[in-house]
Structure formats: structure tokens, C-alpha cells
Homo-oligomer: A and B are copies of this chain.
Amino acid sequence: MRSENQDISIIIAGEAGQGIQSVEQLFVTLLHHMNYYVFSTKEYMSRVRGGSNSTEIRASLLPVNSFVDRIDILIILDEKAFDHVSHRVTDDTIIIGDDRMVSNISHPHVFSFDFTGSAKKIGNLVYANTIAIGLLASLFHISSKELQEHITSFFSSKSKQIIDDNIQAMHKGISFAQTLISSIQIPEKIKNDLNNTNSLLLLNGTQAIGLGALAGGVNFISSYPMSPSTGVLTFLASNGKKTNVFVEQAEDEIAAINMAVGAWYAGARALVTTSGGGFALMGEGLSLAAMTETPIVVHIAQRPGPATGLPTRTEQGDLQLALHTGHGEFPRLIYAPGTLQEGFFLTKRSFDLADRYQIPVILLSDQYFVDSKYQTSSFLDLDKKPTHHIVKTTEHYKRYENNISGVSPRGIPGYGSGYVCVDSDEHDEAGRITENSDVRKQMVEKRLRKMQQIRKQSIPPTLYGSAQYETLLIGWGSTVHTIEEARKQMDKEKISFLHFSQVYPLHPKTKTYLKKANRIITIENNATAQFDQVLLEETGISADAHILQFTGHPFSVETLLQKIPETIQALEEE
């Protein structure tokens, strides 16, 4: 294992259904409580059992939040696992597995233990996971007392028998660890001070979005299950009763979005969560929201397409779809959170701006974002109630009063003495169908006029690195940490990184940033550099080169460390 690293990258690889998820959950929280910085992310197949999945856990003395190829410790849970990740294994990797599973691996640092046999002896194969945790925890200087407390509280809802068995398994793991300790240099946990990780939240993208929705006053969600977006639905389902969220699984995506539009019309704050294929069915509904000027918030967790594509993997391939779907012309706003803070605050903000401007707001995440977990500072400023931009109607209330801003005061049925009439056909100020071409023209202009104010509310991109740069790397959404980790390692070379969490419309400062660069490179998890098209449309400037990846996997820091200099060199040679 390379000892220069202040952080350790552990990969647990095995079949679906073997319990990798619970190892991750248990061990990552443990590290968090023991004052390590942690990051975890998973990649998994579109199946329930079998196959080959893996989870990466990074533990560090400094904040970590991105995916690396490097494997310091590899835990192998089934026969196929090694082949699945072997391209990432180096001579420094330490490989740990059951005798049966590692016997064929020729590698300098293979350690085999009788996980299976021991687990079976304790009473159930699943205890192999707890044995692994015991082993790992030991390596991380976690005392058996600390570990035991953690396990006990983790399984607190289970029977005493189960808790005892787990503790037995844990001890087995601790004893396995002894043979290893000399080969592995793990940094000691952070000393307890004010900066310890306990003041931080530990959560993943799904949870950040879910919490942001709650803070944004969501009280209705109608969605149809679709990986990797379903987590937001189940998050709200599990928290819905105490937070007054009406949760409904729709019969299809079309019902989902039409329910959400109906819910907003009646006064709720509704969210729809889906992925590209589901969203491709919602175009008409989005257009309905726009025409009726009913707010709507749609979360799209992107996965690789076209069609069913790779259901459980990651891609940034639906930006242009989000930007242009829905027939006819109307304003919209698209966020693509990168950090967990952005995940939370932009979700919250989605509700505020959708409500304020009566427009569709789209939150574009992806599988990598929703499934990545790390620590972030707590979410602040939560006391202010979300502002509902709803008026009490008066007798001659007109839903589409044509005013300077284009944003007509929005009433809801049953509140006030007016009638709230909304129409999918072109309509007059009262909301009644019209074919008058003057009114038509005014209404189109009214709707599009809102874009001016929306632009003013744009979130500027974040510049990482010096304001004096030659090369400007550009990324959006989930890639933020990976690009930044790579950039930091190349800091001297006048490379800065500009990250966009609002991808449409772009903040006016964007052009200034672009103009200052000698060379611009967009880094995107897609095949056609979709964000570069947005740059061009919005600023007239486009990138000189792209670093694209569309394998279904997120960029790793290492890939970028290789591709960025290569790309710069190729540009210089041009």
C-alpha cells in the first residue's frame, strides 16, 4: 500500500444482495463518528442478486469527496469480484478475501481469511460482513469498545441474539486484523477538537436533495419509480408523515407530472423525481405547467441512455433534453448541483423560484451524485418559512393579469372571492380560451418576459483556483469534486476550474471568465459535450477541447490527471 497517502481507499466488491450496502453504511458512519473524513460511492448492476458490484470508501484526515481509481484495500466478497475490479488493482493494493475467493489471485499482498466458515459457524453467512467490519475497524485504530457500541446501536432494533452474533463476528474480524496491521499504514484519526467531523453532516446526494425539498416546503410528491431517482421518493415517503408530505406513486410518469401540476394549482408545493426515460414522457406535462404558468419542480437523476441504456449507472446525457423538451416556447431554469450543499440549497431554491416565477425548474443530478456520500457542514438558515407566492383572490380576479414583470399574482381555488381559471389552450387574462392573435402575442411575450428576472437571479459559476489562469477547465453538476481534486494536484500549471451549478440560464459573469482563458476545456460525463453547446448559445464562446467519458462510470481523479495534461498538450500542438 502506498504510504504517501493521507487517505485510504477501500473497495468492497461482491454480488448484489450480499450486504455490501450494509457494510458501507455501518463502516462509513463508524469512520464519521471516529473523526475520519469519509467518502463513499457505489456502482452496481441492474439486478437484484448476483452480478458484480462494488463500493468505494475513502477515509482520510482531510475532507474527501471524490472518486479515485486507486484501491488501497480491496475486500472481496465473491469469486467474480476480483476480475470485476482488477484493472484498478496495483502492486500496492492489499487484497483481503475468503480463502476460496482469493486463492487464484497472484499478487504480492493477498491476505486470506476464513470469512465464510467463521460466519457460518456464528450462524449465518451475512456475518461475514460484520467480520469484515471488525477487521477494517481495527486497522483504523478503532477500539473494540467503540466498535461494539456502534454495532449495538446500529442493530438496536434487532433481537439480542442478532446483536450478540454480530459482536462475536466483530471480534473475529478484530482478531483477523492482527496479521495485517504491520502491512498497513493507516493514519490515526483526527484529534478531537472543534474541527472534528462530528459537527458535520454525513449524507448522500439523495438525502441532500430530499432534505432540500423539505426545507423548500415540499408537501406533495407524485412519481413513478425509476433508478437512480427513486431514492428521493422513498426519502420523502419515510419522512412524509411527520413533515406533511403527500406521497403518491403514480401509475406512470405522465400521471406523475400531471398530478404535480394539479397539486401546485391547488396550492401545494409538488416535486416529481425521475430519470431521463421517465422525463422523456413528461415533455407535454412540462409544457402544460409552462402554459398554465403553474410552478413545477422536476428532479432528474441522469443515467446513461438512449432508451433503457444502463439503468443503474451514471451520465450527464440529458442536459439538452432538459433544456429543450416540452413543445412550444417558455422560460425554464435548470440547476445541476455538484456539492451536497448545492444539492440541498438548490433544491430548496427550486421551490422558491418555481413558485415565484411560476415556471418549471429542473434539478439535474445523476447516479454518481445521488449515490455519493460524504461529510458536509450543516445546513443553515432554516428558520425562515418558505415564502408562498399565493394571493387571496378578489372578485374580479384574473389569473393571467398582464403586468410588467410577466408574473401575474397567483391565486388558488377556494381561497378568496375570485375564480382561478387556468388553461392549456392559449387564453386571455381571465384564463379563457382565445384565438385572438393580439392576445396570443401578448401572452407569449408575457411568459417569455419572465426570463429577464430569472436571469437576474442566476447563480454564478464557482471558480476554483487562481483568478489568473491560462487553462480554464469547465464542469457542471456532479463532477465538481473530482475535477477539483485533480486540478489541485496540478495547481502550479495555471489551471483553474469553473464549475456551474446553474446550467441554464448562465450567469452573465460567465462570459468574462471565458474571455480571460487562453484555452477552455469542458469536462463532461457524456459523448457530445452538451454543456459546451449551452456555453456557446449563452455566451457565443465555446470550448477548445472536451474531455468526455460515457462508459457509465464517473470520472476518477486519476483519469483526469491523465486526460487534462494530454488535452492541454494536444491543444498546444495544434
Contact = CB atoms under 8 A, between A and B. Distances in A.
7 contacts: A280-B327, A281-B283, A284-B307, A306-B329, A329-B526, A329-B550, A537-B537
Interface in A517-544: 526-528, 530, 533, 536-537, 540, 542
A435 B276 contact: no
A175 interface: no
Contacts of A444: 527, 550
A51 B433 CA distance: 13
Given A276-B327, A307-B425, 9 more contacts: A280-B327, A287-B307, A288-B307, A304-B328, A304-B440, A315-B328, A441-B550, A444-B527, A445-B527
Given A327-B305, A440-B304, A277 B287 contact: yes
Interface string A285-324: 0111011100000000000111111110101011011011
A539 to B, nearest CB: 11
Contacts of A530: 329
Chain A interface category by residue count: 35 or more
A550 B440 contact: yes
A306 B291 CA distance: 5
Contacts of A280: 283-284, 286-287, 325-327
A303 to B, nearest CB: 9
B317 A328 contact: yes
A5 interface: no
Contacts of A425: 46, 307-311
User: 9 tightest CB-CB pairs across the interface, nearest first?
Assistant: A305-B328, A276-B327, A306-B328, A280-B283, A291-B307, A437-B551, A324-B324, A307-B424, A291-B306
A305 B286 CA distance: 12
A325 B321 contact: yes
B313 A328 contact: no
Nearest to A434: B310
Pick from A51, A284, A317, A320 the residue with the most CB of B within 10 Å.
A284
Nearest to A252: B254
A201 interface: no
Nearest to A306: B328
A127 interface: no
B323 A306 contact: no
Contacts of A321: 283, 324-327
B435 A552 contact: yes
The count of identical subunits is 2
Contacts of A45: 435
A309 B290 CA distance: 11
A426 interface: yes
A419 interface: no
A423 B307 CA distance: 9
Contact of A317 (B323, B329, B533, B553): B329
A51 B436 CA distance: 12
A345 interface: no
A135 to B, nearest CB: 29
A151 to B, nearest CB: 33
Contact of A287 (B305, B435, B551): B305
Contacts of A292: 307
Given A308-B425, A330-B306, A284 B287 contact: no
Contacts of A545: none
Interface in A430-486: 435, 437-438, 440-441, 444-445, 447-448
A308 B327 contact: no
A279 interface: yes
Contact of A329 (B287, B424, B527): B527
A103 B235 CA distance: 71
A330 B315 CA distance: 14
A304 B440 CA distance: 10
A534 B280 CA distance: 21
B440 A551 contact: yes
Given A435-B46, A441-B550, A553-B437, A306 B288 contact: yes
A43 to B, nearest CB: 9
A317 B327 contact: yes
Nearest to A284: B280
Interface string A367-392: 00000000000000000000000000
Contacts of A275: 327
Which among A292, A310, A317 has the highest number of chain B CB atoms within 10 Å? A310
Contacts of A424: 307-309
Contacts of A542: 540
A425 to B, nearest CB: 4
Contacts of A437: 551-553
A309 B426 contact: yes
Contacts of A328: 276, 304-307, 309, 315, 317-318
Contact of A305 (B277, B318, B329): B329
Contacts of A527: 329, 444-445, 448
A274 to B, nearest CB: 10
Interface in A24-64: 45-46, 51
A399 to B, nearest CB: 15
A339 to B, nearest CB: 25
